[in-house]
Amino acid sequence: MTQMDKTIAVVKGLIMDGIAKANSGHPGGAMSSADFATILFSEFLNTNPDDTKWFNRDRFVLAAGHESMLLYSLLHLQGLLSMDDLKQFRQLGSRTPGHPEVNETPGVEATSGPLGQGFAVSVGFAAAEAFLREKLGADVMDHYTYALSCDGDIQEPVALGAASLAGLWGLGNLIVYYDSNKIQLAGPTCKADCTDHRKVFEGFCWQVLEVDGHNHDEIRAAIKNAQLEKSKPTLIIGHTTMAKGCASLEGSHKTHGSPLSAEEIAATKEKLGMPVEDFYVPEDVVESFRSRQDGLRQNAADWQAMLETKLKDADFAEMWGHVTKPRTELTIDWPEFTPGEKMATRKAWGTCLNSVMDSLPTLVGGSADLDPSNQTQHFRDTYGDFGVDGYGSRNLAFGVREFPMAAIMNGMQLHGGLMPFGATFLTFADYCRNAIRMSALQKLPVLYVFTHDSFWVGEDGPTHQPIEHVSSLRLIPDLIDLRPADAMETATCLDIALKQKDMPSTLFLTRQGLPILDPAEYPNVTDGPRKGGYVIKDCDGTPDLILIGSGSEVSLCLETAKLFKRNVRVVSMPSTKLFDDQPESYKNEVLPPEVTNRAAAEAGRTQLWHKYVGLTGVVLGVDHFGASAPGQILSDKYGFTPENFARMIREKY
């Protein structure tokens, strides 16, 4: 038995023991991937043993997140997790949760678990590395991104969409290992898949290498060959056996999602040449695994010394400042708008983007093939398409790939140094939804720009007219919803989003023109959105009626208020999330509890607004699908007029 054989046997023992103690987990895939992952971590991965956030470290994404006990075992051998951590696998409050979580465990680069997204996230890591390498120099930024994928991971279409972009962009520093054990939870993959992955990925412009995933020399050679290929990402297909090394369950799908029995574990350890002892880690395995660490420390120290020298150059120092400056410290000069004119908030977003893009050189992003509609065309034309026009180009031409777009942005944000945004029509937010959820879960300040935010889209009809989408996205915890009332609010909402530290933002923008509000008449319009909801138009004394509007319906509320002779307060609420997070005293100041005559308007589902107007309060909204017709005709048909809104209120109050 070689030292590597012994190390891998120890890793497999930890996998089996941790899962058995938790009585929950996925041993089979973790054991089939153990050869590759152990060799990668012990012989190839370039890290700083004393700083898991070292800027130029190699990134490793466990796309097959259910194999988490494999990663935790390797992190233990690295010295980042204790034995007690391994013994607390899947327990409340532990550093070893069921799937890797980036904010819980040192050495974990991304929260993974939803299959397909880890693959796409690794593409985002590699894209960020390529951009920063171009901007900072290869001596500062030149690392590999590795991902460990699996059959189920590759089956998710989001992975294939991201793979297509990675090939187009020529991300040579991306190396994905596909553990092809041909087993998934329900049984053999042949029951659900007939894909020739070599043909598919070569068609995506990848280098494809195939190895025996249990042959250590073939694994080492494949990693070295992948590192040498600089113009294409590499897929290493490792042909493996599920639960490799098991005494009687090798190749069985029963090992995918269930702990092994005590008897099977004991027999397997005997087969692997190990003592039956639980959580067995001999000192020679630890010493061998960490034998590179002094060299890695020196490498990181040399890099730091080189960086200090480069920082003496003013141009480099300026760019380095943009890369490393906390977003909360950004100072952004937003454009001015002319009160009284009409402008769609999507146009206001485009105006803002065009105005600040030169001063924010790490702002990168693009549209899912809707550049003119999403107002990103000038950004694209100015800076070029990333990968196609060079790695310093800032526009990401995602194509019609909304889900990969969102997951790739998560990877770019996780990498660090960039401010990613992505845009599409709001009705297609459903395609992005799980990645948006992962943005919130991982505390990533990614910006999602959703235009064409209501039935005002018009002639494109119900397939393109969002109804439930804003309300649906508001259900995701720790996601900032931003639906500005005009161009002034749009600039403020963007300022809020770009200065976020740990929450993603969704910007909901109109296709139709809206009147630009005059700060002289509405003095709170510029800063009010920072608290989510604010009084945009007040009355003398205690209001008899409060009207609440969001986005395009704020103007409707202002016009409706003019039709009443009693005291009416109008509240603009661009963000229910930010408003709900305010102190109770502020919320009561804006919406006094004693004023129960309330009405709300939003061109979307009505249910959420009863939280603010009461169960029996008036809500003007849309609880049905739209129709193909000009927006103004639909507005009249659905009652989005001051006269109809006033009628509804008078009938109630």
How does DSSP assign 370-419, residue by residue?
A: -HHHHT-HHHHHHH-BTTTS-TT--B----S-HHHHHHHHHHHHHH-S-E
Q: What order do you get walking across the sheet with 505-508 strand by strand?
A: 363-367, 419-425, 447-451, 505-508, 480-482
Beta strands per DSSP E along 168-233:
174-180, 183-184, 187-188, 207-212
According to the model, what pLDDT value does residue 455 have? 97
d(Cα 559, Cα 563) in Å, to the nearest integer? 7
43 in Cβ contact with 291 (< 8 Å): no
Our CA angle for 117, 385, 114, nearest 5°, is: 5
CA-CA distance, 422 to 397, in Å (whole number)? Answer: 10
Secondary structure letter of residue 187 according to DSSP: E
Mean pLDDT by 10 residues, the chain (653 residues): 97 98 97 98 98 98 98 98 98 98 98 97 98 98 98 97 98 98 90 96 98 98 98 98 97 94 98 97 98 98 98 98 96 97 98 98 98 98 98 98 98 98 98 98 98 96 97 98 98 98 98 97 97 97 97 98 97 98 98 98 98 96 97 96 98 95
Rounded to 10°, the helix 27-39/3-22 angle is: 150
Q: What is the pLDDT of residue 627?
A: 97
Coil, strand or helix: which one is 183?
Answer: strand
Q: Please report the pLDDT score of residue 193 as a whole number.
A: 94
In angstroms, the CA 385 to CA 102 distance is: 30
pLDDT of residue 187: 87
- 67 included as an active-site residue: no
**Given this model, what pLDDT does residue 185 score?**
87
Amino acid at 182: K
All structural domains of the chain: 3-295 (3.40.50.970), 327-515 (3.40.50.970), 532-652 (3.40.50.920)
Instruction: Give the phi and the psi of residue 138 in degrees, each rounded to 5.
Output: -70, -20
Choosing from 101, 218, 402, 602, the catalytic residue is 402
